[in-house]
Chain A
Amino acid sequence: MIQCKTSKAISGMGHSMKRKEDARFLQGKGHYVDDIKLPGMLYMDIVRSPYAYAKIKSINSEEAMKVPGVVAVVTGRDLEKYNLHWMPTLMSDTQMVLPTDTVMYQAQEVCAVIATSRYAARDGREAVRVEYEPMKPVIDPYKAMDANAPVLRSDKEGKKDNHIWNWKVGNKEKTDKVFDTAEVVVKQHMHIPRIHVASIETCGCVADYDKVNNHLTMYMTTQAPHAIRTVIALVAGHVGLTEEKVRVVSPDIGGGFGGKVPVYPGYVIAIAVSFLVGKPVKWIEDRSENLQADSFARDYHITVEMAGTKAGKIQATRFKVLADHGYTDASANPSKFNTGLFSIATGSYDYDTSYMEADAVYTNKPPGGVAYRCSFRVTEAVHAIERITDRFAFEIGKDPAQLRMDNFIKKEDFPWKSPTGWIYDSGDYHAGLKKAMEAIGYDELRKEQAEKRKKGELMGIGISTFTEIVGAGPSKDFDILGIKMFDSAEIRVHPTGKAIARFGTKSQGQGHETTYAQIIAEELGIPAENIQIEEGDTDTAPYGLGTYASRSTPTAGAAASIAARKLRDKARKIAAYLLEVSEDDLEWEPGKFSVKGAPEKSKTIQEIVFAAYTNHPQGMEAGFEATHYYDPPNLTFPSGAYICVVDIDKETGAINVRRFVAIDDCGHIINPMIVQGQVHGGLTQGIAPAMYEELIYDEDGNILNGTFMDYLVPTAVESPHWETGHVVTPSPHHPIGAKGVGESPTVGSPPAIVNAIVDALSPYGITHMDIPVTPYKVWKALKDKGAI
């Protein structure tokens, strides 16, 4: 049971408080961007390229302009007049807003049609005639560096090839030496394919420029409204849209998962058109556009090796990555980290030698790289280490659970320095795996498996024991476009003791309106019910870097806690004044200060706050407000132990996930119901890439599954009944000991599923399956091995 310090009436940390935001969503009163309707609003639709790589010979808008309701067709040449045809990306690259001469990927924006209605805009789109001269695209990242490959980013001065960067970390010499002399070396190549977040709400905006006041209000689907405002000012400051003239509003968001972090060309075109015509312009992409053009995730080709002893001691790991970044540099990361936090790939194991190297290349695929419930490449890292750990166990004939137990970092060894330089804050990996094994009945399952194998039946058990790295991040290392990755909270308590608090983050379903209120309730004893939370309006909320990468609790949650503690310090002073005792004579319990030894003499937080406005000590600042910008001293390192059981039908290759147990350690838990909900959702977004989802391109760069008809988002039928639980090792450096949880299950579950599938197939000499593991792949592997 989770211990709570506050009563249910206060509902501080540890209470499964029902969500405050639910009422509006349940009654159809959510307020998403497509629900916004402004007087005189125009609608925008976008003509997109059917080719992955082509010269634009001409754009003919004559017929489109004849369509009733069409008011304009905007091309790259039009934007060029204002120098708005290119924009910087959040990853410090550049990207076309609209092309002037060349398209670089299929579904790229070619021109925009503006009309008085949604239907007229679509009619206009169909009537635009674009003449292309197709060119042979670069699709295979391994061929991108061929001497005869076309240089895709010839817009960059002096660019002579498609190489973006080379990154390395660790000690190569020492690592090579361990590998040269190791008793056992296992090696595996794997592809972590392109996938798409596919939040059920697509992206869109309403750009509302007011010519009279030279002011832009930008309603948009963004997870990082403040950073976006800064980017808008950087892109459009030269035409007068300086930062104080821009208000970004992020209304309710229908799922983000990272896909709503970037600035898409559609947003910029809408702003440009609104700026030019002085009317609001709405752009809402449809699902196919969303899948085909918006930010992808993953696409890492990884070779991973592990060296160890025959007895099962892990001694070293080596990683080589080729990152297919598409049209722009897709290292959607803090600027100093090309591969994000991939260097967490050394895993949960106690060894001191590792070397990693990665290269990134441009290809003719859509840009992105940010998204899918983990942007910072931890999913790729965890997949590599957890797969190779299983391969190592298989190679030496040791049970994979035992091998992990034997190699885990011990809980007393935290804080622990990883071979790539991270300081893991805390963890108890043994306890997590033990709990997962007991919950699923590991030993019995192994016995059942042995029986089934005798009968030729395929059953597999797969484990993943991962270490996450979240909460970016400490300002000494972490920034995006130079802006440090702190986050913020501002609390105002009204005279009657009720509060409003605002944050630099932005919930997309994570339940911030409830959990942030619980953090403040924990610190101040004001009932969470009486604390209203607001985010997403840059005019009112304090500046912050937004919600992604499981950073809200580690950063803004910490800021809330510290801002509330500043208020509690003030409350102590006021209470001392009201009770006529010294501050040292006061004791705090949630919701009130009382005099030590005389508990009948006390003041509630509500009385104290009222006094802050009506009877505050002379010389003290009136009011009861505090702000904090939290700069974390370290990242947080949540972890998990996941076990999956699969049954495979030999004849068809069909995979049934019979059970899945997930034990998570995200430190202190703010709201168990919400944490569990996050784990459930993350697990379904783990089984998705493990078994169903992949964006597939042919050699000409055509996407083969760019709609929901063929991009397989799991339904309730594919999604197993998840079994969840937790262990708690608080983060020692976080004010409330919390670590963040949103991404953990998506990061940790795919290798558990694949390890289970490979375990089931292992009697036939199968040692690896690339994701997504489909029935066809399984059937083919069995066929190739002569098993069927």
Chain B
Amino acid sequence: MRIGVVTFPGSLDDVDAQRAVRLGGSDAVPLWHGDADLKGVDAVVLPGGFSYGDYLRAGAISRFAPVMGEIIAAAQRGMPVLGICNGFQILCESHLLPGALIRNDHRRFVCRDQLLRVENNRTPWTAAYAEGQEIRIPLKNGEGGFVADAETLARIEGEGQVVARYLEVNPNGSLDDIAGVSNERGNVVGVMPHPEHAVEELTGTGTDGLGFFTSLAASVLA
């Protein structure tokens, strides 16, 4: 598998995401925000960071990057796309995912080792997990509060589009403790916590995040 990792101005976890892709057994292909070229990749990861400084609204400017036009079209054709943190925000701004992410309810940036429950393992990014599996991965955000209107919320809950939910502590005021969602088709997934920081025993919180980067190959082979 060849998985592209996009670098926007202000991307921070792009190197980490490339490492996670490699440790997951795939080839990491760097993609540049200004090039409308996906270099023939099989899937794309939008990494965390503060693209364009998050100055207007997190993800609002990156959504218009030349590479995003290609990604939006490919996602609509079914290509797997994973957005992590800032990447999740960009996917919401691009209307590839429902809902929006707003400033944490306590108004502070928070970095913590977060327990999650994987609610939906039928996406190409979560197939390696058991449904209901509990995993601990780093969370770090200032604007991670997931919100949606009541109708949208009811729909994504009803359609099983909630991919992961916070356990023990809701770190940012997300509605229904939602930590990640997918689109209706399931190929586009956004998560606020950082699975790419949990892929080695040595660093981060262990290897609970590696499943996000091994699922793709597993789901394609299956």
Q: Do A and B come from one complex?
A: no
Mark B residues whose CB is within 8 Å of A.
none
Mark A residues whose CB is within 8 Å of B.
none
